[in-house]
Structure 1
Amino acid sequence: MTRQQPSLFDLPTALPGGLRYAEEAVTAEEARRLVEAFAGLPFEAFDFHGFKGNRRIVSYGSRYDFSASRLAEAEPLPGFLEPARRAAAGFAGVDVEVLEHAMVTEYAPGAGIGWHRDRPEFDKVVGLSLGAPATLRLRRREGSGWIRAALPLEPRSIYLLDGPARQDWQHSIAPGDSLRYSITFRSLR
């Protein structure tokens, strides 16, 4: 008997262990303030071994240098990110100082992120979604196919990837049709 790979429409009802999600992680006013602050950031195209991604990023605290395959220093976290960092730490149940890395990502219409796991130097991953809604897709290999799940990310929502969701599952962000931002906070191993 041949097992078929499930389609994206045959999604499991349960999300992976270690994935948590909540809406309204920040107020509408705080979200507006953050997006206004992003206008002055020195965004650069995401660079993966010379391939320029269709999203733009700015990293703080540390950044992953794909050409050297290691973490590198980055500018310190700016003060305007501290309220979001506190919200992310509270949601993840960690001290604020544990979230040493922050990356602000700008997704122009049509931009997304392909399938990946965050680099092993990072531990917990906390994402705050701003602007347009998005879909966080997840997949885990099972036999010759994949088990898949999807989570709609509403504006001002937050998610945590920890445990099996962080270690055993890959994730991606589906391309959207409107401008979206995210702030991804990570702890280091």
Structure 2
Amino acid sequence: MMLPLDLPLPTRHRDDPVLPGLRQQDDFITADEERALMTGIDRAGLTPFLFQRWTGKRLTKSFGWSYDFQTGVFAPTEPIPEWVTPLKARAARFAGLAPDDLEQLLLIRYDPGAGIGWHRDRPAFEHVIGVSLGEPATMRFRRRMEAGFRRANAPLLPRSIYHLSGEARHDWEHSIVPMEALRWSLTFRSLKLWPPERQ
């Protein structure tokens, strides 16, 4: 299934970034494209997220590279599917990267009650680019200081895109507030080192 995602990028941008290194844009895709992507994600063979002995409420599937939170193994997996290729090219262009730089894709469906706890993406990855579908969400950020944390929130609107790099990617942790209704997301990542096993 190929999606018509090779249209020119919309021109609306958020003028004031929440954090240095966080760039966002609303209306990155159309409502029709959003529906097609949600259908594609639901057909991709998602499985419950597993972290050691804990099973999360969100369903996920990785392409290109996969990190097993049970074993700590980071390894190649099946290639990014062709139906995502046009979106990958547009997401790379938004981030100022080449499409081939985006070597990993994570698909997620958040069922009601699902969120993501505080974390930084695995150190093998560099750029993180996410496209939000379905219900709006809030991405929270925190950075440890001498006396507690600095905190910030970034709204993730349906059909929007964000790009984490630099300070926002490496110096701040982020999390997703648990959802009250269904949300889907596609997250593209570039690799920091090659081969990643050296890290």
Instruction: Give 1:37 shift.
Output: 1.5
Task: Write out per-residue CA displacement over residues 75-122 of structure 1, whole angstroms, 9 at most, x where no aligned residue.
Answer: 111111112211210111000000000000000011100000001011
2:95 to 92, 109, 115: 92
Residue in structure 2 matching 1:155, options 151, 158, 167: 158
CA contact (8 A) 2:17 2:24 kept: no
* Contact map agreement 1:45 1:57 (CA 8 A) in 2: yes
**What CA RMSD, in Å, does the superposition of the two structures yield over aligned residues?**
1.3
Unaligned runs of 5+ in 1: 1-12
1:20-169 equivalences under 5 Å are 20-169=23-172
Q: How many residues align?
A: 177
One-letter code of the match for 2:123?
A: P
Query: Aligned residue for 2:187?
Result: 184
Greater Cα offset, 63-72 or 76-85: 63-72
Q: Are the equivalent residues in 2 in contact too, given 1:102–1:185 (CA < 8 A)? A: yes
How far apart, in 2, do the equivalents of 1:72 and 1:53 lie? 22
Query: What residue identity is the alignment partner of 2:121?
Result: D
Letter in 1 for 2:133: L
Equivalent pair of 2:17/2:23 in contact (CA under 8 Å): no
In the TM superposition, residue 144 of structure 1 has moved relative to its aligned partner by: 2.6
- Identity %, equivalent residues: 47
Q: Which residue of 2 aligns with 1:171?
A: 174
Q: Per-residue deviation at 1:14?
A: 6.1
How far apart are residue 69 of structure 1 and its match?
A: 2.1
Residues 112 and 178, structure 2, Cα contact 8 Å, conserved in 1: yes
Which runs of 5 or more residues in structure 2 are unaligned? 1-15, 193-199
Give the Cα–Cα distance (whole angstroms) in 1 for the partners of residues 191 and 17 of structure 2. 28
The answer to whether the 8 A contact 1:25-1:87 is kept is no
Quote the Cα distance in structure 1 between the aligned partners of 2:17 and 2:44: 37
Q: State the 1:50 CA deviation.
A: 2.7
